[in-house]
A = this chain, B = another copy of it.
Amino acid sequence: MAIRDATYALIEEQGYDATTIEQIAERAEVSPSTVFRYFPTKEDIVITDEYDPVLLAELLRRPADEPWTDSLRHVLREAIGVGMEEEPEVTRLRSQLMVQIPAVRSRMVASMAATGRMLSAAVAERTGHDRDSLEVRVFTMSLVGGLAEISQYWAENGFRDELPDLVDRALDVIEHGLPTRKP
């Protein structure tokens, strides 16, 4: 979409804060009204939720007898892989903005929380818990919190790690807790 492209371009040129909606509208050759019609907030232009349904669909496609933590691992690796292959610069830019711009970060966390809610249903079914139980909700959100940190870590360290590896390490921590007594 033109609005999104214009936004990415302008942010790379001038930075996030210096980029106004008016500029975005001008670059995309639409009116500011139209920008607001498609994206309720400025952060929404940067962030995308479009992976959510994909993620969920993938999860449901996994064999039912697979340990669900494994399912999750596969699905997350896949989702992240897709993002990186299709538009690596955008993926990086998003991570970077997450680190630098608090509003973007919180929009991202909110988005991931929504994803988490979706996952809750799947997780609840597999584990035999009630979807609205404290346990499932806490687990899901702790998952989301941990995963969000991956992006931060990645960006802060200059994107030098392979994202799938980070996902693996993060999931290990979330599944088994911190490995004890590491020298």
Contact = CB atoms under 8 A, between A and B. Distances in A.
A166 B145 CA distance: 18
Contacts of A158: none
Nearest to A143: B142
Contact of A142 (B145, B152, B166, B179): B145
Interface in A126-163: 127-129, 134-146, 148-150, 152-153
21 contacts: A105-B106, A106-B110, A109-B109, A127-B179, A127-B181, A128-B182, A129-B178, A134-B166, A134-B170, A135-B173, A135-B178, A136-B178, A137-B152, A138-B150, A138-B173, A139-B177, A141-B145, A142-B143, A142-B149, A143-B145, A175-B177
Question: Which 7 A-B pairs give the minimum distances between C-beta atoms?
Answer: A145-B145, A106-B106, A142-B146, A141-B149, A142-B142, A138-B146, A141-B145
Interface of A: 102, 105-107, 109-110, 123, 127-129, 134-146, 148-150, 152-153, 166, 169-170, 173-175, 177-183
